[in-house]
Amino acid sequence: MKALTQKRRHPFAFVALLLLGLLLSGGLYAAATTVNQAQASNGAAEAYSAEQVEEGERLFVANCATCHGMDAEGSDAGPSLVGAGAASVEFQVGTGRMPMQMQGPQAQQKPPQFNDEQTTMMAAYVASLGAGPAVPDDEYLDVDQGDAARGGELFRNNCAMCHNAAAAGGALTEGKYAPSLDGVDEVDIYTAMTTGPQNMPVFNDANIPPEDKRDIIAYLKNDQFQANPGGFSLGSLGPVSEGLLIWTLGLALLIGSMVWLTSRSS
C-alpha cells in the first residue's frame, strides 16, 4: 500500500494519467466513427443492385477514368474516389460540377451532363469501392418535418461565415468562393454537408445529425420565400452594398446640389 501511495505521488503520475485519458478518448472516438462509416457503407451497398454497379462502372471508365484513374484510385489530375461515397457523386455529378469543364480554383456549376438514372448508377459504383457518405433518405429531405427556426440558428453558427447570413454566398481565398444557396435542391444541400466539397468542411452525423441537417434545409427553403421589409435586398450582402449605395447616392446629391447652387448664383 505504501509503495502504491508513493507511485501516485510521483511527479510523472499526472502526465501518465493524462496520456492514458487521451488514448482512451481518442480510441473510443475512432471506433464510433468507424462504426458509423461502416453502417453508412453497408446501407449504401444494399441500396443498389449489381446491374447498377456494373453499368456505373462502364459510365465511370468512359467519362471519369481519365482524371480519377481506371480503378478510381486517383491520378495527378484527380483525387481518389475510394471512400468518397455515393453522396459525393450525387453532389458533384448531379450539379454538373463533374466532369469539370476546365481546371481552375474550383469546379463550376453547369447543366448536368448525365441524367438522374446515370448519376445513380455511377453513385452505386463509387459506393461499392469503400465506406463513404450515402445519399440521404427522403425523410431527411422533407422540409415539412424540419424546424426552420432551429435550422436558422444552426446555419448561423456553422455556415454563415462563408455563405453569408442570408445564404447569398461569399468570396474565399485564392479565387474560390462559397456559392449562393438560393434555389439549391434539398439533396444537394444535404450531400454538400456530408461530403465537404471544395473548401467546405465535412459535417458528418457526429457533428450535425441528420435531423439537424433537415432543419438547416428547412430554414434555407423558408428563407427563400421571405420578403425584404426594409426595401431592396441589395444582394443581401449587408453593410458593404448598403454603404456603397449610400455613398454613391450621397455624393451624387451633394455634387448635384453644388452644380445647381453655382448655376443659380451666376
Is 64 annotated in some ligand binding site?
yes
104 is in an annotated binding site: no
- CATH architecture of the domain 140-226 equals Orthogonal Bundle (1.10)
- 217 sits in the region (left: phi over 0; alpha: psi -120 to 50; else beta) called alpha
Instruction: Return contacts of 113-120, CB within 8 angstroms, 24+ apart.
Output: 113/63, 114/59, 114/63, 118/59, 119/89, 119/90, 119/93, 119/94, 120/48, 120/52, 120/56
What's the pTM?
0.71
What is the secondary structure of the chain as a DSSP string? -HHHHHHHTSTTHHHHHHHHHHHHHHHHHHHHHHHHHHHHHHHHHHTS-HHHHHHHHHHHHHHTHHHH-TTS--BTTB---TTTHHHHHHHHHHTT-SS-SS-SSSPPP-S-SS-HHHHHHHHHHHHTTS--PPPPPGGGT-GGGS-HHHHHHHHHHHTHHHH-TTS--EE-STT-EEPP-TT--HHHHHHHHHH--TTPPP--TTTS-HHHHHHHHHHHHHHTT---TTS--GGG-THHHHHHHHHHHHHHHHHHHHHHHHHHH-
Instruction: Please report which confidence band the pLDDT of residue 18 belongs to, taking 50, 70 and 90 as the band edges.
Output: confident
Instruction: Say if residue 173 carries a ligand binding annotation.
Output: no
Confirm whether residue 67 is marked as ligand binding. yes
Residue 10 marked ligand-binding:
no
Same fold, 1-135 and 140-226: yes
pLDDT in tens, 214-254: 999 999 998 765 566 556 666 655 566 677 777 888 889 98
Q: Which CATH number among 3.40.190, 1.10.260, 1.10.760, 1.10.10 corresponds to the domain 1-135?
A: 1.10.760
List the domain boundaries for the chain. Answer: 1-135, 140-226
Model pLDDT, residue 103: 82
- Judged against a pLDDT cut of 80, whether residue 14 lies above it is answered with no
At residue 41, the pLDDT reads 47
Query: Is residue 80 scored above 70 in pLDDT?
Result: yes
